[in-house]
Structure 1
C-alpha cells in the first residue's frame, strides 16, 4: 500500500511539473528574448551616439523621417507593441488559434528587419514630438525598454500560449516581444541609411 501511494505521489508530481512547464515560458525562450532586446537596444545607442542636433534633425527628403523622428517612433512603439502583447494575455489561451500560427521566430525577425519591404506607419506610432526634447525622447525609449526587459525576466506566464492578430497574420505573444525588438533593428538600419546619405551633415 505504501509503495502504491509512493507511485501515485510521483505520478502527480510529474503531471504537475508538466503543467507548470506548459504554463510558464521556457528559460531558453526567455534568455533569447532578453538577449535580443538588449542587442537591439545596443545597436540603436551605437547608431545615434555623438550625433549633433543638426544631424539628428536632418531629413534626406521633405517627406522622410529624421533620426530624431525614428527614435521617437521607437519610444512610442515600446509602449504600443507591449500594450498589444499584454492585451493578448487577457484572452483565454486557444488551441485552435495556436494551430493557426504559421510564422517561425526566424521568419518573423527576418520579415520585420527587411527594409526592402515598406510599411505605412499607423497614427499611434507616428512621431509628433510628443516627448518634447530629443533627450526626453531617448530617455523614454530607454525607460520603456528597461521595463519591457524586466517584464520578460519576471513574468511567469507562457507567452507562447497567447495569440496576437497583426495585419500580416497571427503570431504568439512571445513573438510579439521579438517583433518589438526586431522593429528596433529595422529602424537602426533606417538610421544608418540616413547617416550614409551624401547630404548628411558632418
Structure 2
C-alpha cells in the first residue's frame, strides 16, 4: 500500500511540473534587458531636442516627436492593461499549438516600419509635452520592469490575438516593448528628414 502511495505522489509531482509554464530565469532576464534597452533608446532620441524640434512634423498627417512620445506613453498603459485582462482570463494550454511566432519574430515584425498598423481609438496623442510624456512613460516602464522581476504568473498559457497573430502573455509584453522601439524609430526618421529644424 505504501509503495503505491509513493508511486502516486511521484506521478502527481511529475504532472504538476510538466504543466508549469512559468517563465524561466533566462526569459525573465532577457525581457528586462529588452525593456531597459528600448527605454534608453527613447530617452536618447529625445535628448537635446528643442521645443521647436519636438513639435515639428513634415505633414499634418504625421506625428511629431512629442506626439510619438505621448503615443508610446499611452500605449505603455493600454497594452499592459490588455495584458492584465488576458492574464485574468482562464489559461488555455490547448491553444499553444496555434502560436506560430517565436519571441524574436515578434520583436522583428513589430519593429519593421514597412509593416503598417492603423492606430486604434484611445491611442492617439492629445498634445502632451514630450517631457511629461517621457516622465509618464518612465514611471510605467519602471513598474513593468519591477513586475517582470517579481512575477510568478503562468504567462505562456494565456493567449492574446494581436495584429501580428496569436501571442502568449510573455510575448505580449515583448510586443509592448517592441512597440516602444517601433515609434522610437519613427522619431529617428523625423530627425533624419531633410526639413527637420536645425534648432
The answer to whether TM tops 0.5 is yes
Deviations 1:136-188 (A, max 9, x none): 22110000111111111111112111101123321001000100111111111
- Point out the more displaced range, 91-100 or 29-38: 91-100
Structure 1: distance between partners of 2:115 and 2:104: 17
Conserved in 2, the CA contact under 8 Å of 1:105 and 1:175? yes
SS of equivalent to 2:40: helix
Conserved in 2, the CA contact under 8 Å of 1:75 and 1:137? yes
The one of 137, 146, 150 equivalent to 1:150 is: 146
The answer for unaligned runs of 5 or more in structure 2 is none
The one of 101, 105, 112 equivalent to 1:107 is: 105
Matched with 1:98 is 96
- Point out the more displaced range, 80-89 or 133-142: 133-142
The answer for unaligned runs of 5 or more in structure 1 is none
State the TM-score, normalized to the length of structure 2. 0.90
Is 1:34 aligned to 2:25, yes or no? no
- Count of matched residue positions in the alignment of Structure 1 and Structure 2: 198
Deviations 1:175-202 (A, max 9, x none): 0010011111111111111001111111
Structure 2: distance between partners of 1:88 and 1:176: 10
Structure 2: distance between partners of 1:117 and 1:196: 20
CA drift of 1:31 comes to 0.8
Structure 2: distance between partners of 1:128 and 1:146: 23
SS of equivalent to 2:144: helix
SS of equivalent to 2:20: helix
Conserved in 1, the CA contact under 8 Å of 2:28 and 2:149? yes
CA drift of 1:62 comes to 2.0
State the TM-score, normalized to the length of structure 1. 0.89
Matched with 1:15 is 14
SS of equivalent to 1:125: coil
The one of 173, 188, 195 equivalent to 1:199 is: 195
The one of 164, 171, 178 equivalent to 1:175 is: 171
RMSD (CA atoms) = 2.2
